[in-house]
Each structure stands twice: as structure tokens, then as C-alpha cells.
Structure 1
């Protein structure tokens, strides 16, 4: 298909309500939306933004951030090219709606706005670069649909400043980078095409000396014109968030939306929106197995609760709730749970145990009260709810321990699994920045390096820890795979012998 026919096919999609995958989100959604759709669209987008934040916290290079973000988008926000025969408007509506819901949730403070803008700009950049690789005509159609207020430099002016323009060109290494991530917007070579804009619109290019400046104007080569697009996206979003913040008080009396928005903003601060299925129990475990499982597979929050339970033969209410639900989803049946907790509370008589604790254990399994199947607590809930006091043991050690106590606890818990004092500064630095889930994920990688887990891999595909049971489940999977591999190897040796 020639270029003119391809362009014509792309333009036919202008009749769509959402004609482009790339979007500046200028117009708010005006459709009727159910509360469930309102929440689901926001959570799907939030999961992607949380992984982007995690990538920044871990100083991942841009190519890794692109790879992880694209996988997350395929999973949670798939959007096909304009030439696809799928229902494009339905796909793009989910993206559009999710963005505006998160605007409501994250316009409330300067910190939330800053983090939201950074993550959204990164998401737009990833999509923009991917569009240039797989659907350049779609990207050109999007750019033609907007007025970016750049002036193309004519041949006479280019000839006048030829030497200056040439000297601002990129070196070999950068050229290779831009071939991969920022393909030219037109078929002309970079040396031939320049746009003229006010230098204040491309401060990043000025800082890196990639443009020629003259009289307050920057001469931007075509391959770097994406910087103008990104800058405008960021500025538009910053202004929109400020406007949204002023209008938000009108929602204060809406009891349907305010709790939901509060939950979303808390999840963004924690950085860990979770989709972990926290109600389905894993393979059945016995009470006698818990101690060994704790030493080999538990995250710091649950390991801390287990160690304190062994030492004090007691946990306070929120500690029992946090640990009990974790063990339930791990695979501890109600019968084994009764046995485990009775043995653990060895300083109490049977009457005291039955009177004070038995009902609550049965209640958490849905056998008393309203008989609900209570899920285990996610990292988000542990970080943001039921904050521990000085005599409590529940909570997240990465957030609630002092740096010295955290260092001591981590070395005590995980030295046998490969964690050393040399690893502590990196972990504490991440904790100081408020990325507690990233610190937990890094500990997982270090302690499972002998299982083939590499730095940056997380629990698989670069994803961070979002739930204590996710940590334990993945740890057990890795051990099981290693055992199976050893059996196969031993079998091969026997056959060879």
C-alpha cells in the first residue's frame, strides 16, 4: 500500500470519537459512567503509572522503562492502531476515562500533581515513541491535528546558519539512540528539516546543547521535535490539574466518589495498586510448616510478625489480623490455623484462648459474623491503614521502622539468603524516597539471586511487589522450579551412568 493510500485510511478514522491513540486529553468525558467502570478504568491506568514510578525509583534506563510500560499497557490498556478493525472507540474510551478519573484523585496536593504529571508524561512519551515505530502515519496524523506553533525553517535560512546547525547535530551514540526511540517525523533527513520555536519551549534541548540558539529562538531538528510535543503535553496537564483542583470542592458532598478518590490517591502515594487475588488460598500448608516457610519465603512485614509471635507468644489485634489473613491465603486451613495459633499462644489456658481469640480466627475465615471471605491485606492497605503504635508489630517495616532498626531487622531476617551490609545503603536510599515497595522488591531480588532472579526483574517482567502473598507465592514457585530442575538433572545423570 503506498503512502497516500495509507494516509487516506488513517484519515478515515477521523470520524471516530477518539481518532488517535495519542491524546492530550483536552476534552473531559461527557458520557454516562457507572461507579464500577469509573473505578476499574482508574485502577488499570494507575497500575501502569505505578510501574513507571517504580522504574524511576530504580533508575532504570529508558529502554527498560519502555519495555515494562508497553507490557503493562498491553495488559491493562490495550489500544490498537487506527487501521485495526477492532472497536477503537471502546478501547480509547477506557484510556480517556481513566486519565480524567485520576486527575480528580491527584489534583489535591502539589506533591500528587508533580508525581502524576511526571508519570503521565512518561506514559505519553513511551506511546509516542512506539507510535513512531509501528504506526508512523498514525503519529503524523495526530501531529497534524494539533497546532504546535512551530515554524519550519526555509532553505535560505538553513543555508545562512549551516555551520551552526551542523555543529549542534548529535554524535554517533545519540544518533543510534534516536534511531530506536525517536524516528524522524518525516521522510526528510534530520540535517534538512528544522523547526523554529521560542527557546523556553525546549529547555531540555538547550541544557544538552542539542539546538542552535539565535535571538531567543531555538532551531530544533526534526528528530528532536518530539521534545516540543512532550513539553506541551506536560504544560497542558499541569494547567488542567490546577483548574481541576479549584473545582474539586464541589465533589466533597458526593459520598459515592470521594471515598473512591481518596483510595486512589492513597494508592498512588504508596505506589502499589494491587490486582493480587487475595481471597483464593494457595496449596494447603500445615501448622508445622509455617516456621520454615517464614524463614525461606516471607516478606519483611510477615517475617517480623512471625518472629515477634515466636518471641512473645502473642500478637495484638491488628498484628493477628494482618498475619492471620496472610496465612489463610497462603493455604492454612481453619483447622490448621486453630492449631497454629493455639500453639503460638502457649502462655494462655484453653479457656482464655477460646474466649478471647477463637471467635476472631473463625471470623476471618468467614465462619462467624457476616461470614465474609476476607482477603489478605495488600501492601497498599498495610502502608496506609491502621498505622502501628510504639507497642504494635503490624505495618510495613520499610515505612514504620527507623533506618537503624530496619537495617538490623533486614540483616537478621535475610543474611542467610544472601543479603549483606553492602546492600543496605541502596535499600535505605529507596526507603528514604518513600518507595517502600521498591525496597521490598529489591530485597526479593537479592535473596532470590541464587534462583536466577536478576536485578530489575522483580517478581517477573520487572514488576514490583504489590502484596505480601505475591512475594511468598513467587518465592515458593522459584523454589519449586529449582527442585524440579534438580530432579531432572539428577535423572539425566543416572541415565548417563
Structure 2
């Protein structure tokens, strides 16, 4: 991908193309058999992989949340349209199909490099990629699907009409559908080991080690083939990966990407570097906002600060940046922290703490606009004083803490089991998202809604901002009801 050690990329801003131009990527469906051989920049290498990662992580999140196929498919389509669109050549949109398919191709292979290094990562990657392929196969135009099926040898045998007639009674008993539909159906013959899902569900007739697969179940052969092919190529990639050990540009990126998948982060919050609430939030409002709208990680920071009248350096940094992005101005931040550190005298506060507060707002030092930390950063080992409570708290402490913190907002003991089961599966962001849904039920949030559109929590500020947004109409309504 980095041909000749270069990190420059050819211009891919092509005009609208037709299918005749798509010689490298003739179809939206792809088994990713040939690695990309074009030059890319390091930035392109990372950004396209992260876009694909967001889709795969949301698929994992959907599985952990027990979404049915229709819900999973809808969420995946939405994520694909947002991060990795793949339009048909018949699309009426003015799009660069070559660039879309090139990005899809590159992103798949970058993630292969990131996720081939352990059995667990390979298993999770194969499962998510296969589901992504299924969604794309389902929505593909009939002509695109047929062109794809004809582009490669799936090693199946079309059952001759004479043999199909001889086995009519047996085939009909295994067929699910109307008699007229059966009469129009063609059959494909493959080894039964290639369609274990159909065998398990008794959807195929078996004879002599062969499975007779009707046309409408043909996709099962394709999906199993995709999964088997990807498993083999990942193992091959793992054997070749040590060749990258000396490339200091790529390994940090691959490590970050694989950590992101383990953390389950699906997307980057658009408001992570700033807030539209500036000058709206005052120091005296933080206690109430924390009680009603903070995620557990920031709620723990707030409770510790109120209890000890102090936070250690990384805790202050983490919580301070969160409050900054939430909309607390520098003036209000100094008021808040001065009041919170009530045991410290003014002189010591001004000398040892005020500078750091101003520094986090970009007013001292190198004057950088520091962003608040995301879930992936909080989930990283040794990330902070607290990090993510869903990961760090033990099985006894977490349920007690959740009831203590969120009980007044509607979280019941009967809900805790669902949350802790998700934590045991290491889907920490899903647990946080489910707590959000449960504690905002009075605001009209239902199971599966997430923070909006079915998306999972990926940033503490995302959680808090959405909570505050949902509670504003309710608070306004409640205020109107008590007015004389």
C-alpha cells in the first residue's frame, strides 16, 4: 500500500463514472481477494479504516443488544450511508463510484492488518464483516447480485431437472413455501458442511453427503463462502504481519484501531471538541446537571470531588475537559473549581491549580484547544484515576453503584441484571447506552433507541449533551404546570 515507501496519494477526484470505468471494482459486493496496490497517505490509511471500524463496532453493539435482523440491518445501512457509502452504477446521485469502492477495498485490508493478531480479534472481525456483507447482499440490486454470483466460482452444482424430478417428494418435504413457489424453484448441490445453518434449521434435503439448496437459500452458500475465505486470509495475514514490525508509521495506527474495536467504539461524537452551550452553564448548576445528565464515569468524578474536596491531576484533567466541552466557560470553571477545593487557601489555589485550569482552556502554555476524552480513551489501560466504571468496577460494586446513582432516575434492581450481563461480555459502551435508555424512559426513550437513531454512546459529552437536550422540553413543561 505504501509503494516504494511513498506516502503520497494519486488524485482520485474523478468525474461521475459509469460501469464501464469500474474495471477494478465492478460490483458493490466484494470478497476482497486482491490486496490494494495503490499508494495512500498515512492519514488516508487511518481515516478510511476508522470509518469502517465505526460500522463494524455498531454491528457488534447491535448483537450485544439483541437487536433482530431488521433492526440490525437498518442501523447498519444508516452507518454505511454515513461513513462508507457504496452506490450502484444505476444510482441517480452524482457520486464517484470508483472512489467509494476504492475506500471500501482499502479499509477492509487495513482492518485485516489490525485484527489478525489474536484469535479473539479475528473471530470478532469475521463475524462483523460477514454481517456487513449480508446487509449489502440483501440491499444489492438484482442485476448487481447476479453479476457478482457469475463473477466467481462458488463450486456448486446446478441440479439437473431430471434429478430434481426424481427427488421431488423429498425436496418438497424440506421446502418452506407454497407449492407454486416450489414448482418454480431451482436447486443447487453442495457438500452439506458448506451450509451448516440450513442443515441445523432443516431447510435442505440431504443425500449422500450432499445438501440440495433451493434458490431462495442460495445466499447461505455465499455467506459461508465469504466467512471461510476471510478466516483463511486472516490467518495468512497474521503469519506475514511481523514484516511490519519495523514500520513506526503503521503499528501505532493498527494498535489504536484494534483497541478501538475491543472498546466497542462505533463513532466519533461530532461535538467532542466544542459546545454550543457556552455561557449557558454556570458553576452553581453543575450539581443538578450531574445528578440528572452525567454518565457514570463523570458522575464518579463529581461525587469524589464533592466528597474529598479534591481530585488528583488526571482526574481533574479528565473532568475539567468534560465540563469545558459541556459549555462551562473559563470564568465559571475557575469559580467551580475554587468552590470545590474549599479546603485549599486562595494563594495555593492560584499558584498550583488556576494555571492548569487556564491551560486546559488553551489560555496558557502552547494554547492548544484540548478535546475532552472519548470512551476509547477512558477504556484504555491506565487511562485515568477512574477510567470507565463499567470496566473497572467489580461485580459486587457496580450494581450497588448503579442503583445508588441512577435509582432516583428510574433504574430498578430488575434492570441491573441486563446491564451487568452486558458488562460481563465486555460490551461496556452497550451497558452505558442501556443505562441511558432506562434512565431517560420518561423523556420518551425506548429500548434500542440509544442516544438517537439507535446509536451507542461513544463519548461522555455525547451522553450528557443528549440527556440535557431531552430533559429541556420536560423541564419546561413541568415549570408551566407549577406556574400559578
TM-score if structure 2 supplies the norm length? 0.92
Runs of 4+ in 1 over 6 A off after TM superposition: none
Indicate whether 1:288 and 2:284 are aligned. yes
2:464 paired with 1:472: yes
1:332 and 2:341 matched? no
Q: TM-score, normalised by structure 1?
A: 0.89
Structure 2 residue 23 is matched with structure 1 residue 30: no
Distance 1:387 1:275, change over 3 A: closer
- After superposing the two structures, state which structure 1 stretch, 36-45 or 442-451, moved more: 36-45
Contact 1:411-1:419 at 8 Å conserved across structures? yes
Alignment of 1:319 with 2:326, yes or no, is no
CA-CA distance at 1:485 after TM superposition: 6.2
Q: Structure 1: how far apart are the matches of 2:329 and 2:81?
A: 36
Residue 154, structure 1, aligned to residue 154, structure 2: no
Provide closer, same or farther for how the CA distance between residues 362 and 15 of structure 1 changes in structure 2, counting only shifts above 3 A.
Answer: closer
Q: Displacement, 1:251?
A: 1.0
**Cα deviation digits, residues 182-201 of structure 1 (max 9, x gap):** xxxxx986753000001111
Is the 1:113–1:238 Cα contact (8 Å) retained in structure 2? yes
Q: Which residue number corresponds to residue 410 of structure 1? A: 402
For 1:14 and 1:485, the matched residues in 2 are separated by 58
**CA RMSD in angstroms, aligned pairs only:** 2.1
- Provide Cα deviations, 1:286-324, integer angstroms capped at 9, x if missing partner: 110100000010000001110111011011111111111
The 3-state SS of whatever aligns with 2:401 is: helix
1:5-24 CA deviation, whole Å, 9 max, x = no partner?
A: xxxxx995475321000000
191, 215, 226: which one pairs with 2:219?
A: 226
Q: Please say if 1:207 is aligned against 2:213.
A: no
Does the CA contact (< 8 Å) of 2:377 and 2:383 recur in 1? Answer: no
Give distance in 1, aligned partners of 2:188 and 2:146: 15
Q: 1:386 deviation in Å?
A: 2.8
SS where residue 170 of structure 1 aligns?
Answer: coil
Aligned residue pairs total 462
Give the C-alpha shift of residue 154 in structure 1. Answer: 1.0
**Correspondent of 1:271 among 264, 272, 276:** 264
State the 1:221 CA deviation.
0.4
Deviation at 1:255, TM superposition (A): 1.2
- 2:65 is matched with which residue? 58
2:108 to 85, 93, 99: 99
1:29-70 superposed Cα distances (whole Å, 9 cap, x missing partner)? 111101111111111111000100000001110110000000
1:111 corresponds to 2:120: yes
1:34-433 to structure 2, matched below 5 A, reads: 34-84=41-91, 86-131=95-140, 135-170=141-176, 192-276=185-269, 277-283=271-277, 284=279, 285-387=281-383, 392=385, 394-433=386-425
Q: 1:317 to 1:23 in 2, by over 3 A?
A: same
2:194·2:224 contact (CA, 8 Å) conserved in 1? yes
Q: Is the 8 A contact 2:266 2:456 kept in 1?
A: no
List alignment gaps of at least 5 residues for structure 2: 1-16
Show the counterpart of 1:182: none
Q: Tell whether the 8 Å contact from 2:55 to 2:266 is kept in structure 1 after alignment.
A: no
Following the alignment from structure 1 to structure 2, what is the Cα–Cα distance between the partners of residues 419 and 434? Answer: 21
1:447-491 Cα shifts (integer Å, max 9, x gaps): 00000000000011110000000000000111123345678x97x
2: CA distance, partners of 1:68 / 1:338? 42
Structure 1 residue 109 displacement after superposition: 0.6
Give the stretch that moved more between structures: 477-486 or 158-167.
477-486
Using the alignment, how far apart are the partners of 2:19 and 2:99 within structure 1? Answer: 17
Deviation at 1:106, TM superposition (A): 0.7
